[in-house]
Amino acid sequence: MKWASRLIQEVLTWGEFVKISHTLFALPFALAAMLVAAREQRGWPGWRVFLLILAAMVTARTCAMTFNRIVDRQFDRLNPRTANRHLVTGAISLWSARLLGVLSAAGFIASAYGINGICFALSPVALFVICFYSLTKRFTDYTHVFLGIALGLAPLGAWLAVRGELTLSPVCLSLAVVFWLIGFDIIYALQDQDFDRRHGLRSLVVAWGSKNALQGAFLSHMIMWGLLVFFGLMEGFKLAYLIGLSLILVALLLEHWLARRRALNWVQHAFFRLNALISLIFLVVTAVEVVFPWWRTRV
């Protein structure tokens, strides 16, 4: 069974390379958008559309992360925090990474083609946006905004997959994701503040300093929370959603309390878990509101 052990290890290595676990950030928001878009069918658009949305999300993120690892490999080699990444250590070859990037891009376009015409037509634009983020730290302090836009495409794409057209609701949800990402990417950038400054890489943390950048992150998260409130009002959500919003607010406040303590050792673990929890809470309460309308009318 050595071949099975090697196969499992290879899968784990590639999964770690593209940080497949971090799909939990954008995927729940995309699935929540899917549920609301398919509200007339109790949130279920059918297995075909669901699986295509899932495939599109996974392949798009794999392509973006692979591109990021390829173009940043020289900086990763110099940064003690990232010096053990796969392309730096040679655990994964540059040729293999490039092949994965091409295959995942093709998989994303194929998934979009299977969904509908509008998703297929917009798929090259989406690929450009999600990959372009990786280059922005070289020329703008607002690299966090580009990351937010990249992940904010997820709920828009899921909505288009179900409805084929946009309304104000998915745009509002997408903006919420944008501001959410801006906020927590600023906090994440605190880890590399000194390294980025020495090597000419840009971010709001480098440009504004940690104190002002954290204030900007907090404002961004409060805007995100306000947009989620507005989204719930537009969709007529009630008790379950209100509970979810309260939990999300607590998680956001906890995140900023920890960030202001400058306990950077928690970023790699608790930080990601906390933000993954936020997105999962949002998905759960949205699902309750959409899938169980009878519950909402009785409370």
CA distances from 128 to 66, 109, 117, 155 (A): 13, 12, 18, 17
* pLDDT over threshold 80, residue 71: yes
Q: What pLDDT shows up at residue 21?
A: 63
Q: What pLDDT shows up at residue 228?
A: 98
Closest of 84, 81, 99, 79 to residue 16, by C-alpha: 84
105-156: pLDDT as tens digits: 999 999 999 999 999 999 999 999 999 999 999 999 999 999 999 999 999 9
Instruction: Report, as an integer, the average pLDDT of 255-260.
Output: 84
Would you say 75 and 199 are in contact if contact means Cβ atoms under 8 Å apart? yes
Q: What pLDDT shows up at residue 117?
A: 95
CA distances from 123 to 96, 101, 162, 237 (A): 23, 15, 15, 31
Q: What is the mean pLDDT of the chain?
A: 89
Domains in the chain, CATH or no CATH each: 23-293 (1.10.357.140)
